[in-house]
Structure formats: structure tokens, C-alpha cells
Amino acid sequence: MSTKHKNQNKMKTQRQVLNAIHRLIEFIARLIYMFIAFLKGPAESQPPIKDLILLHSATTLAFKIRNRQLMSEEIVQSYIDRIREIQPVLNCMVEDRFEDALKEAKMCDEFLKSQNAPSPQILAEKKPFFGVPFTTKDCIGVANMKQTAGLTVRKNIVSKYDAEVIRLMRDAGAIPLATTNVSELAMWWETSNCLYGTTKNPYNTRHIVGGSSGGEGCIQAAAGSPLGIGSDIGGSIRIPSYFNGIFGHKPSTGIVSNDGQYPSAQSEDQKRLLAIGPMCRYAQDLSPILKILADKNADILHLNEKVDISKLKFYYMEDDGGQLLTSPVELEIKEAMRKVIRYLEKAYKVKVTKLNIRKLKKSTALWMANMSCKDEKDFTYELSNRNGHINLWWEFLKWTMFMSNHTLIALLTATFERFAVKHGSDQHTKLIQESRELYREFQDILGEDGVFLFPTHPTAAPLHHEPLVKAFNFSYTAIINVLGLPATACPLGLNKQGLPIGIQIVGGLHQDRLTIAVAEELERGFGGWVPPVIVA
């Protein structure tokens, strides 16, 4: 056997051993977290959904308002009442503007009664979400509301302006209602911080909502808001959408403005990975919201063009090919993917081709390399609110005495970063090169008529704190940010434990309408959002 082969075999064995140790740690940790959850008592129940207004899509609400079938004020009031019911149990909201929202809703209703009111058709064109309330993650600036990004030191920081996406939503007639919880600095996939605490999963409060737009995923799923705005640099729209059984779309890179978001991307590279997008219970809302958020760039996406599903080329992978330190994809998720394939093959006579994209095994490393940038200020700088650096070891010590204002994972991320590949090193250059190759490989396969079905995440929502031992599972979404491609998280019902599962649908660059059209189709075939509580 040649030395090269011997080395390859040695590396393979090392990987297998590492993965086996990781599985064991995951297993032991699961038992510990289950025990902790048991000690904390049973999952908390939430009030049923009694108000049928809460069950309309945002598009339907807008239609009903402009056709005088429902008043904006009663819709806003219904959502305020619902948030008041769920907030004590789920802790998804961080700040409300209920009074202002009600005033604005009344103004909408009065305007519609006035002589100046345009016809419903004109209103649909000029102000497609006239009178419809919406929520946004607290990283996205809403004028006169706090913008903390879950960082304690920012607890009194109030945004002077609307972020560009909020301005666009207001311009479309929508009414901001509340901001929602995020992970600390939006850099983790469990929503918990020292300022507002932990957000709980509406399907089972012992489980996480995902992150970083976790409050948004939760409030949507619990029918506390008809549409939400999230942002995604590594999965922060898609992971919470998936864990909460709703739809979430990360647009193609560069389409939606990131202005007015905190933390902002530090470099052009990071900007390329970051995208703001819609989160909602009904797939039909994705495209009209994206159209507003994309503003002048909407033309690039041809969102009005009808998509013929039978003409699309479908590809899939059931997992990342066995990446080091990611969990195996749960059987029920694989089974859901197979059902989707059978459904598409039967309904549209298409062939869904299995791929083996080997570079997906390097997803975490590729994302990390793309996140690191020249002259990058490190995470301890970010944790100080870009004002000096926190003392990491001192904070760790404080944390052990429950005195730190930072989460354990934020401190671990800052530590981990010190060992990550450095910008400009040979290894970094190689990984960036490989990212480009992977992008070309995807573009060649998908072109303008291909979609790729891929797990959004290898497991359903873990228990609280469990992501600590499954840290790199976020790479299933993060790799799509590296590629800058559009991806829609699509719910596919609940697993045996009653937790949502689903897949993400990825398209070629600027082919957002394809991924959204497939999500709409799968909603028809698989039922979409399932209410987490009884609809009474």
C-alpha cells in the first residue's frame, strides 16, 4: 500500500473515531438535558387559537382590509390579544408598539372610509399590505424602538431610524407591531440571551425555537403575527422557520438591503452571506413580501412569472455526505424527503436525481473561511458593542458565578474563533477557492430551472442548551449562505414527538421564484403550517 493510501486510511479512521466520540457525547448530553427538562416540570401549555382572524394569511388580510371586509383595527387588536396570551409562556417578544399600531390601524380604516380612498385594485398595487400588522427580529431597526441584538450593554439603545426593509414594509402599508427575541448578537442557533431570556418552542416548550430569528419563528408559529422579517447569515431565517414549522425564505445574495441591521456585516464578504427575508405561516405570502423587500431589485427575480413545476429539474441529497461533527440526519426527516420525491414524481412526472456533492462535507470550514475577513475585529470586540474588547477569561469566571452579561455560547464562540483559520493564510485561500468551485458546481447543475432539496437541519428542534453539543449542525443552512443562493425552508408536518420537520429548497442564483413555487406546491401536498395548539 502506498504512503498516500496509508495516510488516507489513517485520516479516515481518525474521522470515524472522532465521529464516534461525538455521537457518544451527544447521547450522554441528551440524557442529561432530558433529566434537566424533567426536573423543570412538564412542557407548558398555551391557550387555544379562538379568534379566526388569526388564521388568515397576510395576503388574505390585506385583501379583506382593502375590500372593507375586515377592519385593520380589529386585526391589530386580535394580534395584540394573541401576543398577550402567548408571551407569558413562550417569551418570543421583546418590545411592543401596540398603542401606536392601533392608532395607525385606525388611521388606515378612516382613510378607507374617506372620499380619497383609492379602489381596491389601486391599493393592491400601491400598498399591498395596507393595514396589516407585522413583526421583526430585534436586530432590524424600527424607529423609536430598542435595537439590542440580545446584548445586555445595548439594553437602552433605541433605533433612530427604520431599517430599509422596515421603511419598505411601511411604504407598502404594513404596520410594525412588535420586535422579537434573538440569540446574543444573532450569532447562535438557540434564542436565549442575558437581557430577555430564552424563547420556547410553541410545539413543546422544553425545546428550542432556533436562532437567531427565533422569537420571530416562534411568534409566527403561535399565530402571534401574520408576517415577520428575519435575517440569515448562516441559517437564522431557515433554522427557526424549520423548528417552528413555518415558511422562511433566504433571498439570493445582494437582492435585499441590509441597511439598518445590527450587527452589520464587517466586510463585503460577510455582506454577501447576509440576507434579510420573510418568515410566515403561509407560502403564498413569501413572494409578495419578498417583492416589497427587494424593492428595485425585484425585477431581477421575475417574481411575477408563473412557474411550471413539471418543467423544473429536481435534485436532492439526504445529508451532507458525512461531515465531521454534524449529527446524522434523523430517519423521519429522510422519510419526509422521500415522500416529497414520490409526491413530485407522481404529481408532475418529474425525475428527482440524487446528487453526491463531495464538498458539502466541508460546509462548516467553508462557512468559517467566508466569515473571516481582512482586518476583522474579533468577537470579543463585538461583545463589547464595538467599544473595546471584553476580557474573555474574566467573563468566563463571572459566568461560573452567574455574574456575566454574556451567554456561555457567546464566550465559547469568541474562544473558538481564536483557533479558526486566519484570513489570508494558505488554508484560508484554499477554502475560498473551494467555495468558488462549489458555487460553480451548483450553478452548473441548477442553472435557471433546477432546484435542490436538502435537509434544513439534521434533527428536529433539540432540547434547550442541547445545541452546545451539536454546534455545527447549522452548517446545513450556512453552506447555502456561502453560495449566495436562494433557499426556502418548507415545513412538512410533525414528527412522532409532535415537533415540526421539513426541508429547504435551494435554487440557482436569482431563481427565488422557483424555490418559493416549490414550497407553495409542497404546502398544497403536505399541509404546511400545523397549529401548535387546538383551534377552538
Ligand X SMILES: CCCCCCCC/C=C\CCCCCCCC(N)=O
Query: Pick the catalytic residue: 159, 212, 252, 435?
Result: 212
Query: Distance between CA atoms of 138 and 145, rounded to whole angstroms?
Result: 9
Any contact of residue 485 with ligand X (CB under 6 A)? no
236 is catalytic: yes
DSSP string covering 364-382? HHHHHHHH--TT---HHHH
212 is catalytic: yes
Any contact of residue 233 with ligand X (CB under 6 A)? yes
225 is catalytic: no
At residue 327, what is the residue type? S
Using Cβ positions, the residue closest to ligand X within the complex turns out to be 236
Give least dist CB 368 to ligand X, A: 7
Burial (0-12, 13-18, 19+ Cβ within 10 Å), 420? middle
Any contact of residue 136 with ligand X (CB under 6 A)? no
Burial (0-12, 13-18, 19+ Cβ within 10 Å), 4? exposed
Q: State the cell numbers at 142.
A: 424600527
Instruction: Please identify which residue in 257, 413, 459, 504 interacts with ligand X, judged by CB under 6 A.
Output: 413
The window from 26-34, 233-241, 327-335, 451-459 that contacts ligand X (CB under 6 A) reads: 233-241
At residue 32, what is the residue type? I
What is residue 183's three-state secondary structure?
Answer: coil
At residue 175, what is the residue type? I
Angle subtended by helix axes 58-66 and 286-294, to nearest 10: 80
Give least dist CB 442 to ligand X, A: 19
Count of CB atoms situated within 10 Å of the CB of 68:
12
Any contact of residue 366 with ligand X (CB under 6 A)? no
Any contact of residue 33 with ligand X (CB under 6 A)? no
Any contact of residue 188 with ligand X (CB under 6 A)? yes
Among residues 133, 130, 135, which one has the least CA distance to residue 62?
Answer: 130
The window from 64-72, 114-122, 230-238, 443-451 that contacts ligand X (CB under 6 A) reads: 230-238
Q: What are phi and psi of 209, to 5 degrees?
A: -100, -5
Instruction: Please identify which residue in 94, 145, 186, 298 interacts with ligand X, judged by CB under 6 A.
Output: 186
Q: Where are the alpha helices (DSSP H) in 175-329?
A: 214-221, 238-243, 268-273, 286-294, 298-301
The window from 409-417, 434-442, 452-460, 514-522 that contacts ligand X (CB under 6 A) reads: 409-417
Per-residue contact string for residues 375-404; x = within reach of ligand X by CB under 6 A: ------------------------------
What is residue 315's three-state secondary structure?
Answer: strand
Choice between 10 and 422, CB closer to ligand X: 422
Any contact of residue 235 with ligand X (CB under 6 A)? yes
Which residues in the 444-483 window bind ligand X by CB under 6 A? 468, 471, 474
Residues forming contacts to ligand X in the complex (CB under 6 A) are: 186-189, 211-212, 232-236, 412-413, 416, 468, 471, 474
Give catalytic residue positions.
137, 212, 236
